[in-house]
Structure 1
C-alpha cells in the first residue's frame, strides 16, 4: 500500500461525475487488504486524527479510536466515506424529528469494510472492542474548516462542532486512558 498513490487515486476519483461513489471504490479496494493499510499507517496506539490529505475539495485522514470510545451524534455537512483496516466501528444513525433527533438505524463496520454516508447524515460512533480501531475517513470537502453540529449524548441538545472540537474529544480519550 502506497499512501501517495492512494491519495492521488482519491483525488482523481473525486473529479468523476459521481465523486463519492468513485472515491468509495478506491477506499474499498484499499481497505479490502486491511493488513496492508495497517502497515502503511501504523498500528494505532492512541486516539487521534492524522491528516493524510486536506484541500477545499477533499479531506483524507486516519482515525484511531481508543478501546470502547464513543462519539456523540454529529453531522459532517458533506459526504463521507469510511473504511476500516483494524477493529470495529458501530454507527447509530439519527434523523431530525420535531423535538430533536431520533435514532432510526445502525450499521457495524469491521476491518475490510467501507461505507458511504450522505451529506445529511447524522451518526454516533462507538468502538465496542477492548482494543484500538483504525479507519480511513474521506470527506467531500474541508472537514476541518466546516462548522457542523453535534448533539449532547444525554439531552440530545444541538451544539456547535468543528474539526477542533472533534480533535479535543479524541485527546480527552487519551487522557481518560492515561496515554
Structure 2
C-alpha cells in the first residue's frame, strides 16, 4: 500500500499546526503583558527623618561607628526620591542642621549650580550621601609646605562617599542644577576649629562652622546678582 500523502492532506495538516501554534501565542500574549505591568510610584512617600536620625545615633554607638552609620545613610539614599520628598527641593546654597551633638553631626548640604567649596579638612570621619544632583570631590594631602591633589571621586544620586579623619577635600557641583546631600560627621562639626586652604595660593588658614556658613551666604549673594 502506498503511504504517499496527497498535497491536499499535507496542506490541511500544515494549516492546522499553524493555527494551533497561533492559538497558543494568542493565549500567552496577554499573560506576558500582565507580568510586565509596573506598580504606580507613590510620589508622596517620604523618609521619616526622625527615625533616620535615631538610627544614625544608635549606629554611632557601634564598634565601627563610621561603617555602621554609613549603612544607615546608604539605605536612606538608595531611595533618593523619598529623601528628596522629606527634605524638599534645594533652591539655595545652605546647610540645614538635622542633628548636632559632641558625638555626631548630621546636616543637609545644598549646592547651587556649579558651586565650588575650597579645600578643607574635618578632623573627624565623614559620610556623604547624595539624594539629588552630583558632587565632585578632589582629594588633597599635605606635603612639606602645603597640600597637593592626588585623587578625585564623583558622587552621583544614590552614592555614599566615606572620608577618614585626616582627609582634605574640595567640592564642586558640576551641574547646571542644584545638588543636595546628607553629610554625617563623627563629632561636633560646627564647634571644631579646622583648616581650609586658599583656592589660588593653597595657603592654610583656620576654618570652622561660621566660616563654612559664610561661604554659603556669599554663594547665594553671587547667584542673586546674576
Greater helix proportion? 2
SS of aligned partner of 2:199: coil
TM norm structure 1: 0.99
The partner residue of 2:179 within 133, 153, 161 is: 133
C-alpha distance in 2, partners of 1:3/1:54?
14
* Partner in structure 2 of residue 169 of structure 1: 215
Greater strand proportion? 1
TM norm structure 2: 0.79
* Partner in structure 1 of residue 95 of structure 2: 49
Measured after TM superposition, the shift of residue 99 of structure 1 is 2.1
The partner residue of 1:78 within 124, 145, 154 is: 124
TM alignment of 1:102-121, pairs within 5 A: 102-121=148-167
Over 6 Å off, 4+ runs: none
Q: Structure 2: which 5+ residue stretches go unaligned?
A: 1-46
Cα-to-partner distance string for 1:56-114 (whole Å, 9 max, x where unaligned)? 00000000000000000000000000000000000000000012100000000001001
Cα-to-partner distance string for 1:100-147 (whole Å, 9 max, x where unaligned)? 100000000001001110000000000000110000000000000000
C-alpha distance in 1, partners of 2:173/2:164?
21
* Partner in structure 2 of residue 67 of structure 1: 113
Q: Structure 1: which 5+ residue stretches go unaligned?
A: none
C-alpha distance in 2, partners of 1:121/1:152?
16
- Highest RCO, 1 vs 2 (Cα 8 Å, sep ≥ 6): 1
